[in-house]
Amino acid sequence: MKAEMMMLALLACAGTAFAAPREAMNAPAALETDDPGSTFSLTFTGSQGGSSYTAQRIHLTGTLVSNTAGTWASDVEMDITTPGGGMLTVLMGTGGTYATQSFDLVRALPGAPISPAGEWQFALRDTFQDGPGTPDSLINDLVVTLDDEPQPAPAATDLHEIGGGDGSDVPVLVTNAAIDSGGQIVWFKFSTAADALNGTTDYFDVDTYNPDDGAPAVGSINDTMIAVYAVDGSVVSEDDDSSGDYHSLLTFGADDPANWRPAHGNGYGGDGFNGDLVTGTYYLAVGCYAANFDAPFIATSTSAATGTILVNFYTNLPGGTTGPACGLADVGGVGGVAGADNHLDNNDFVVFIDFFFNHNPIADQGSTGGAPGADGAWDNNDFVVFIDNFFTAPASCR
């Protein structure tokens, strides 16, 4: 009995410790990226060591070689079609002109987990033709590996569902990204209950504009960069300076000029420029210039700036705005620092009062009659709603 228990424990450990990688295959050498781009197929067995597995991710390693003067590494894309017909496009290189560039890429598979057994199709292309008649780039030593590990999501503050706006230029949710050390990226998780599509009147916008940020400066805490990621770790959209004074804006859905949202500062307004955001769960990465956003969930920044970035969500989508787990009163953490810490105590009062007197939108929680929701005025109603939010949050928060 004891031995059996131990064996079960060992098997349980093995199941975790030996997840991924499962199968690896070499692609043909000297793959061309255009004129025409190379296509090839690889057949995976879908089993390893005699037992079948389900695939979650694909790894691509190899070397990109420039073959025509002026071509960019970021011109090279590869379409991957799984045996079940799932499709995925991978950007193989980064940056402009180059000589060689090695790559080590990981992507979540569409519809993962999937059965990997069968023929996989691969098609390379170069999205900008620099040398007609000559392949712009070559790919050498391409190895394709499948694993059975789900793509881990970043540690993120969960804002839950965001919706229920009335179409006015008042954010339905305002939160803070506290950048405590240079190069830090702050992650939020959120969900939507409906689609925000181009060609409709429904929109979902997020910006980092803060009128109190003072003189704009490149590379300062005001010079934000943001990206929305899908749950599979792919980048939906990213932005640097579309809002005012180097702040960032991502804008989905309603794109008819009649339905544009107001600009903030000297930036662009919400105009649906980033396309569609379908119903679902997403991650928002917030950092400072210069940031780089890659799949899967790889976000980095070379900025040395520290401070607090305001994050404003605007939407007329249905549903409700839940905010962090402890609700909208969770505005401060230990020591009176700004930002939710999933706990409600005196620090939230300290930070709320600071925000209130600085006319920070986070303190604009109430409107006339003590109704929840911002109204662009900082008065007694905001205290009423903040205190309500504080005492109606789950008891476990206090």
Please report, as ranges, the residues that interact with Ca ion according to CB under 5 A.
71, 75, 126, 128, 130, 136, 223, 240-241, 246, 289, 330, 341, 343, 348, 364, 375, 377, 382
Bridge partner list, 203: 253
Residues contacting residue 331 through CB under 8 Å, at least 6 positions apart: 176, 338, 339, 340, 348, 351, 352, 355, 362, 363
Q: Minimum distance between the CB of residue 318 and Ca ion, rounded to whole angstroms?
A: 23
Question: Minimum distance from CB of 102 to Ca ion (Å)?
Answer: 19
Q: How many whole angstroms separate alpha carbon 97 and alpha carbon 335?
A: 49
Pull the structure tokens for residue 321: 């705005």
> What are the angstrom distances between the C-alpha of 263 and each of 213, 215, 247, 267, 389?
16, 18, 12, 6, 30
Q: Report the nearest approach of Ca ion to the CB of residue 17 (Å).
A: 37
Residue, CB closest to Ca ion? 71
Shortest reach from residue 280's CB to Ca ion, in Å: 26
- Minimum gap (Å) between residue 166 Cβ and Ca ion: 14
Pick between residue 267 and residue 275 the one whose CB is nearest to Ca ion: 267
Please, what is the minimum distance in Å from the beta carbon of residue 287 to Ca ion? 10
**202 vs 382, which CB is nearer to Ca ion?**
382
Of 18 and 128, which CB lies nearer to Ca ion in the complex structure?
Answer: 128
Nearer Cβ to Ca ion, position 43 or 100? Answer: 100
Phi-psi region of 83 (alpha: psi -120 to 50; beta: other; left: phi over 0): alpha
Cβ pair 351, 331 in contact under 8 A: yes
Shortest reach from residue 238's CB to Ca ion, in Å: 11
In degrees and rounded to multiples of 5, residue 57 shows phi and psi of -135, 160
Query: Smaller CB distance to Ca ion: residue 144 or 329?
Result: 329
Is the sign of the CA dihedral 96, 100, 106, 110 positive or negative? positive
Q: From CA 262, how far away is CA 327, in angstroms rounded? A: 27
Q: How far is the CB of 80 from Ca ion (least distance, A)?
A: 20
Nearest to 331 by CA among 310, 352, 316, 346: 352
Please state, as a whole number, how many other Cβ atoms lie within 10 Å of the Cβ of residue 387. Answer: 16
When the beta carbons of 38 and 192 are compared against Ca ion, the nearer one is 38
Strand segments (E) across 16-99: 23-26, 31-32, 39-44, 47-48, 51-52, 57-66, 76-81, 87-91
- C-alpha span between 110 and 79 (Å, rounded): 12
| Nearer Cβ to Ca ion (47/127) | 127
Which residue type, as a one-letter code, is found at position 37? G
Between residues 213 and 330, which has the closer beta carbon with respect to Ca ion? 330
